[in-house]
Amino acid sequence: MLNGQVAIVTGASRGIGKAIALELAKHGVKLTITGSSDEIHRTKRDLEDEGYQDIFSFRADVTKELEVEQVVQATKTAFGAVDILVNNAGVGVSKKVEDITVEEWKKTFEVNVQGVFLYTKAVTPIMKQQQSGTIVTLSSDVARYSLPEKGSLYTATKYAVQGFIGSVAQELQQYGVRASTINPGLVDTNFGDTKQGEAAKTDWLKADEVAEAVRYMVEAPKHMVIDEMYLHPLCQQYPRT
């Protein structure tokens, strides 16, 4: 069902984004992948080593409007469409509120919120013209259950993302365009200042499990929208609301 479709995946240098790129490639999706470092080209090479083709990698910062527009236009020119956008790039800051600097506040909002806005804005005219498209944004479980400690900044960005996508979804549904969030709990990656594979993270979700959930969302029949998907490891405690 996804075979031949075209996707842009942001933040695919490693972690969840790289796993999403691999999962979509396995299902025949043509890919544009981005990251802000040259590591993104390694992801392309790794995918090609596994036999996948039709992959463009761009070193492009999600906070820079011009770079975002170039990525989206280059994708449309090369592949003729943009069927799927996965807003995955994100950063985490874990600090007590009194220790957060204004620079950290702005930077985190720029990547986690403005980056989602810029890519969503850039693909919208294309998807409206196509009368189809799916936008999946990596939000977080913290968008419902605020992080209890050192999490105010990160939590604030994901609440913003949740509100933005919730509104965009309603704006675009009349054009056949779907917009959703996926809201994982703890995932074993190098996110923030953590290290993938640490012993304490053995029972956390794995990046490829989140990637499978993203694929399930984009593969849903065109008349069906999965608005949000919350998933978390069984070991993670939640305040249930």
Residues of the shown chain interacting with ligand NJP in the complex, contacts defined by CB under 6 A: 10-17, 34-37, 39-40, 61-63, 88-91, 111, 138, 140-141, 184-187, 189-191
Q: How far is the CB of 185 from ligand NJP (least distance, A)?
A: 6
Active-site residue (options: 154, 175, 230, 238): 154
Min separation Cβ 69 and ligand NJP, Å: 14
Distance CA(44)–CA(12), nearest Å, equals 9
Q: Whole-number minimum distance, CB 91 to ligand NJP, in Å?
A: 5
Cβ closer to ligand NJP: 36 or 134?
36
Pair 94, 154: CB distance under 8 Å = yes
Phi-psi region of 169 (alpha: psi -120 to 50; beta: other; left: phi over 0): alpha
- Shortest CB 232 distance to ligand NJP, Å: 8
Specify whether 154 is catalytic. Answer: yes
Q: Exposed e or buried b for every residue in 77-111, given b needs 16+ CB within 10 A? A: eebebbbbbbbbbbbbbbeeeeebeeeeeeebbbb
Secondary structure class of 52 (helix, strand, coil): coil
* Residue nearer to ligand NJP on the CB measure, 131 or 215: 215
Looking at the Cβ atoms of 132 and 194, the one nearer to ligand NJP is 194
| Residue 54 or 209 with smaller CB distance to ligand NJP | 209
Residues in CB range of 143: below 8 A, 6 or more apart: 155, 158, 159, 161, 162, 181, 183
Catalytic residues: 154
